[in-house]
Amino acid sequence: MKKMDADVLIIGAGPAGSVAARMLKKLGRQVVILEKEQFPRFSIGESLLPHCMEFLDEADLLGPVAAEGFQLKTGAAFSHAGKLTEFDFSQKSTAGWATTYQVPRARFDQILAEASEDCGVPIHYRHSIVAADFNTPGQTRLTSVDANGVHRDWTASMVMDASGFGRVLPRLLDLETPSSLPPRLALFTHIEDRIAVDGYDRSKILIAIHPKFHEVWYWLIPFSNGRSSLGVVMPMDFLEVRTGNPLDILRELVMEEPRLAELLTESCFDTPANRIGGYSANVKRLYGDGFVLLGNAGEFLDPVFSSGVTIALKSASLAVPLVDRQLCGLPVDWQASYEQILRRGIEVFRAYVEAWYDGRFQRLIFEERQLASIKAMICSILAGFAWDEANPMTQRCGKKIEAITGAYPLL
């Protein structure tokens, strides 16, 4: 058999791909990343969760990330109809990291990718994977096409698909299955925020709920350079009654929410708005002979709890030792050691996402009579520790949320 290009081929140099590459390299594996875009490139998903710091640490990436001077993140604030409630991650019940960062992803992803290259992982930019062949036992083959239209085959023992919303192997291998969540739409941009309101805390993401439509919510994620990410999430058909260009519609929607209107009166909306719809996605399974799906290439739920990058890094951390074991010729139970564990945390987030949109979780977080102990457990989930089985709020979550909200008469 012809010598293979690597032990492992990784599709995509986003957070899941770059972190997996660093972790594999530390185990002495030969890795090649094939990335469709040229970095830096825009990506959505700018609010990290403290739990993901553990995985950055595992890949020796805390140093390069800290050196960039990203905006520190200490918690999350929620606003609705004049009410404001805050969660400070230092109050969480789970041990571990209590801070993280708010990051322009173009730069954050570039730092992770460069760190992979620094430790000897070649990244072939502008190489889009268009075909995959898993028919030869022990050898997988990917076909890329570069910016000049040139096709090239790549071989390795294993493939890790970290292609995010590209969802390369789910599409090529017919693994896609509909998400349990209805499709939604997000409209977003970056602004020069010019926030000069007394007491405003830049170190907390602000999630605001539309005063009339509780399924419509906004994010405001301040960066360290005076700019912010600003977005709104809504049902797919919500914009049908609004006309104008996307940035004007976004500004109009923002000014309908009193807290954002107060914070952003002086803001400069200087960048065109983007929209992305129908992003929730799922797959029949997260692994197969010769491949494993990481991050968004597997399941993506919803942006409301900023869980995407944390799930992506958790998937890399779980999969890398299993890939290494398989390369050593040892048996691997992918179902028990990967799929079930990863999905357990995803199910926790799903229960909270569902409770957010049907209004139960919104009631819960604005409840003034909340016990401090329950608030600490909720805070842990908001900090990303969805796999902490010692937290009662990660067990039978739907029922717990119902029981707690039911215990308070409607305000």
Ligand X SMILES: Cc1cc2nc3c(=O)[nH]c(=O)nc-3n(C[C@H](O)[C@H](O)[C@H](O)COP(=O)(O)OP(=O)(O)OC[C@H]3O[C@@H](n4cnc5c(N)ncnc54)[C@H](O)[C@@H]3O)c2cc1C
Residues forming contacts to ligand X in the complex (CB under 6 A) are 11-17, 34-37, 43-48, 128-129, 162-166, 168, 186, 276, 279, 295-296, 300, 303, 306, 308-310, 312
Task: Give the C-alpha distances (Å, rounded to integers) separating 145 from 35, 244, 289, 300.
Answer: 10, 38, 24, 26
3-state secondary structure 225-266: CCEEEEEEEEECCHHHHCCCCHHHHHHHHHHCCHHHHHHCCC
- Smallest gap from Cβ 241 to ligand X, in A, equals 21
- Smallest gap from Cβ 58 to ligand X, in A, equals 15
- Smallest gap from Cβ 34 to ligand X, in A, equals 5
- Smallest gap from Cβ 296 to ligand X, in A, equals 4
Beta strands in 61-150 (DSSP E): 71-73, 75-80, 83-88, 100-102, 123-124, 127-136, 139-146
Task: Give the C-alpha distances (Å, rounded to integers) separating 288 from 140, 269, 291, 333, 338.
Answer: 12, 46, 5, 11, 12
Residue 129 phi, psi (nearest 5): -80, 125
Query: Tokens 């997996």 sit at which residue?
Result: 20
- Smallest gap from Cβ 279 to ligand X, in A, equals 4
The 8-class DSSP code of residue 119 comes to: T
- Smallest gap from Cβ 369 to ligand X, in A, equals 30
Terminal Cα-to-Cα distance of the chain (whole angstroms): 71
- Smallest gap from Cβ 328 to ligand X, in A, equals 26
- Smallest gap from Cβ 192 to ligand X, in A, equals 20
**Which residue's CB is nearer to ligand X, number 94 or number 363?**
94
Q: What span, in angstroms and rounded, lies between the C-alpha atoms of 248 and 332?
A: 53
Residue type at position 366: F
Beta strands in 1-52 (DSSP E): 6-11, 31-34
- Smallest gap from Cβ 234 to ligand X, in A, equals 11
**Which residue's CB is nearer to ligand X, number 46 or number 88?**
46
Nearest in space to 123 (alpha carbons), one of 63, 56, 36, 62: 36
Are 50 and 89 a contacting pair, CB within 8 Å? yes
**Which residue's CB is nearer to ligand X, number 25 or number 36?**
36
**Which residue's CB is nearer to ligand X, number 30 or number 189?**
189
**Which residue's CB is nearer to ligand X, number 301 or number 404?**
301
* CA 301, chain centre distance (Å): 9
**Which residue's CB is nearer to ligand X, number 47 or number 391?**
47
**Which residue's CB is nearer to ligand X, number 319 or number 404?**
319
**Which residue's CB is nearer to ligand X, number 30 or number 306?**
306
Alpha helices, H only, 271-396: 308-327, 334, 340-357, 360-366, 372-382
Looking from the CA of 236 toward its CB, the CA atoms found within 13 Å total: 8
**Which residue's CB is nearer to ligand X, number 15 or number 170?**
15
Q: What span, in angstroms and rounded, lies between the C-alpha atoms of 185 and 192?
A: 23
**Which residue's CB is nearer to ligand X, number 92 or number 363?**
92
- Smallest gap from Cβ 375 to ligand X, in A, equals 22
